[in-house]
Amino acid sequence: MKIAFTGKGGSGKSTLAALFVQHLRAAGHRVLAVDADVNVHLAPLLGVTARAEDALSHPDNVRSVRTHLLGGNTRIAGVEHFVATTPPGPGSRLVTLDPADPVLARHATPLDHRAHVLHVGTYEPADIGSGCYHGHLAILENLLSHLDPADDGWVVCDMVAGTDAFANSLHAQFDMIVVVAEPTPESVSVARRYRELAAAAGVADAVVVAGNKVADELDREYLERELGVAPIAVLGMQAGLRRARQAGNPPLPQDLDDAAPLARIARHAESRPISAGRRADLMRTLHLRVAGKGWVRAAHGDVTGQLGPVTV
């Protein structure tokens, strides 16, 4: 099960993602938490120091992960010909959430034997004036598309803020995307736009809204009225959580006035996984779109051959 949290910056998406990870851990699930936000908040919220040399997007780590994923897949000319949408094929190695999996063992920080944390990374001094964070995210897209569909663990991703996920394939990679919205015009406008783009991308049913910092019933009604959909979960102002954070403690479900919204999010996700066939169709369409870009053809040649034949 793959679930992402996004929303306007400051909406509480990273904190809610961290709380959800802890909820899953307490329930005994295997969890891979992925910090994909340029601001790198999820890893510290889980007690992990996000060092630049450990970042998934560090060039050495990109090559290591892609070399592992490539395996014996002859549809890909080499690790340097991976693009963001490169799919697995015959001979590819898939990633599991087993702690012995080579990708987790080499690149993830364990919280315990059932929970691990990866962080994509952020801008480094060398990137100033020449780097684009979307390029950092390509290795995450490769990792997500090469996850073993038979694995029964959870991937929880703190996504880039706002609608940046539509610049690449991230919007098509998750079973559910939780847009965290505060009852303010600015936060609502981001959530509304996210839902509009999801509809245009064919993943409207994967996107849900969680209300955060909701003070009263008027706030709840405001969210539902402005977004045209009821939030699947609503969290209040959470004074206990604020006190814990002010004390420098990582957020935990027991800091909440009521942790039931976390269980509701989990149940909702479990009720609506995207089928393997549908995801393959979405990713195939996106790969062909990427393959048609001039810079991709110039750098990698024709990557349409990375796709397998269409199955009926």
Q: What is the pLDDT of residue 273?
A: 83
Q: Is residue 312 included in any domain, yes or no?
A: no
Is 106 among the domain residues? yes
Contact 147, 84 (CB under 8 A): no
> Domains in the chain: how many in total?
1
Residue 6, in any domain of the structure: yes
pLDDT along the chain (312 residues), means of 10: 94 96 97 94 95 94 98 96 96 97 97 96 66 78 96 95 82 95 96 95 94 96 96 94 92 94 96 88 94 94 91 57
pLDDT of residue 308: 86
Q: What is the pLDDT of residues 224-236, one digit of tens each?
A: 999 999 999 999 9
pLDDT at 166: 84
pTM comes to: 0.94
Determine the pLDDT at residue 312: 52
What is the structure's pLDDT at 38? 87
Q: Is residue 266 part of a domain?
A: no
96 assigned to some structural domain: yes
CA distance 55 to 58: 5
Give the DSSP H/E element, type plus range, for residue 34. Answer: strand 31-35
Position 164 scores a pLDDT of 78
Residue 222's pLDDT is what?
Answer: 98
Cα–Cα distance measured from residue 52 to residue 36, given in angstroms and rounded to the nearest whole number: 13
- H helix runs in 10-157, sequence order: 13-26, 42-45, 59-70, 102-107, 133-145
- CATH of residue 248's domain is 3.40.50.300
Q: Does residue 55 lie within any of the structural domains?
A: yes
Enclosing domain of residue 39: 2-261+271-306
Evaluate whether residue 169 is within a structural domain: yes
> What's the pLDDT at 124?
62
Torsion (CA) 63, 69, 71, 77 in degrees, nearest 10: -60
